[in-house]
């Protein structure tokens, strides 16, 4: 199966990669959905509740406590999956990376056209005056970060209960419609509407790289279960 994917990559000039949390876990970024006993001792709410629009407005201190500990991870480095995609971009094979991740590791590896469905921790703005702040500036604050003007700063990430950015969504749809190979990696394909985007790919070369089965396995033309970094390094 790996040889088939290698052949597809060699023949492609318009690859689209659609990735999720599993791409970044190999860089040491844990999937925030992993809830264990230790988590329950620290937080009174599940992650999906804390990372919601309503919770951010009502409990900003608790939101930022979770955000700094679980989401705002700045010491992670790109892994072989990120690096291979950047290599394909340099070779003229890669059309776009569509990612559900917000960590900026694709850009750190050198990918240029990265469509961030759920935003980025590296962009933060004052909700009152719009002033920009880096992730490092947010990490250096305590409590609820405030702008010089007194407004609350919030990260440019899509919270539960919010819509995806229309511009990013349209660009993703266009990339998928013109792909000659779609590689889906490190995602359970269970978070909508993002997961539904793969249906816009019209071709018959859809490779699914995920450790566990997904609800969309039947849509794939090729499935590989090994770690994504290991697979990508061999392509």
Give me the CATH code for the 30-72+122-157 domain, please.
3.30.1600.10
Catalytic residue numbers, as ranges: 118
Is residue 52 predicted with pLDDT exceeding 80?
Answer: yes
Q: What is the arithmetic mean of pLDDT over 73-87?
A: 97
Q: Alpha-carbon distance 190 to 212, whole Å?
A: 12
The predicted structure's pLDDT at residue 191? 79
The predicted structure's pLDDT at residue 192? 82
Q: Alpha-carbon distance 201 to 177, whole Å?
A: 5
The predicted structure's pLDDT at residue 135? 98
Query: Where do the structural domains in the chain lie, given as residue ranges?
Result: 2-28+77-118+163-233, 30-72+122-157
Is residue 34 predicted with pLDDT exceeding 80?
Answer: no
Q: Pick the closest to residue 141 from 72, 77, 76, 75 (CA basis).
A: 72
pTM score, two decimals?
0.94
The predicted structure's pLDDT at residue 190? 84
- In sequence order, which residues have a C-beta less than 8 Å from that of residue 167 and are 6 or more positions away? none
DSSP letter assigned to residue 18: E
Cis peptide leading into residue 193 (ω within 30°)? yes
**pLDDT per position as a tens digit, 147-174:** 999 999 999 999 999 999 999 999 999 9
- What is the chain's mean pLDDT, rounded? 94
Q: What is the arithmetic mean of pLDDT over 178-195?
A: 91
The predicted structure's pLDDT at residue 194? 81
Give the DSSP per-residue string, 65-129.
HHIIIII---S----HHHHHHHHHHHHT-EEEEEES--S-HHHHHT-S-EEETTEEEEEEEETTT
Structural fold of domain 2-28+77-118+163-233: Rossmann fold (3.40.50)
Q: Alpha-carbon distance 8 to 195, whole Å?
A: 23
- In sequence order, which residues have a C-beta less than 8 Å from that of residue 65 and are 6 or more positions away? none
């Amino acid at each position: 199966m790996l040889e088939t994917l290698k052949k597809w990559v060699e023949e492609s000039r318009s690859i689209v990669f659609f990735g999720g949390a599993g791409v970044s876990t190999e860089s040491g970024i844990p999937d925030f959905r992993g809830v264990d006993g230790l988590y329950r001792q620290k937080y009174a709410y599940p992650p999906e509740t804390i990372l919601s629009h309503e919770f951010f407005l009502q409990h900003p201190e608790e939101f930022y406590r979770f955000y700094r500990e679980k989401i705002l991870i700045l010491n992670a480095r790109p892994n072989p999956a990120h690096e291979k995609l950047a290599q394909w971009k340099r070779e003229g094979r890669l059309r776009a990376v569509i990612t559900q991740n917000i960590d900026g590791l694709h850009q750190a590896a050198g990918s240029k056209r990265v469509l961030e469905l759920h935003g980025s921790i590296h962009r933060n703005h004052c909700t009152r005056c719009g002033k920009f702040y880096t992730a490092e500036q947010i990490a250096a604050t305590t409590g609820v970060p405030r702008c010089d003007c007194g407004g609350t700063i919030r990260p440019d990430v899509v919270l539960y209960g919010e819509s995806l950015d229309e511009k990013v969504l349209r660009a993703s749809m266009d990339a998928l419609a013109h792909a000659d190979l779609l590689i889906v990696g490190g995602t359970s394909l269970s978070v909508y509407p993002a997961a539904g985007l793969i249906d816009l790919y019209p071709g018959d070369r859809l490779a699914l790289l995920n450790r566990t089965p997904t609800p969309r396995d039947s849509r794939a033309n090729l499935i590989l279960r090994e770690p994504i970094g290991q697979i990508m390094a061999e392509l």
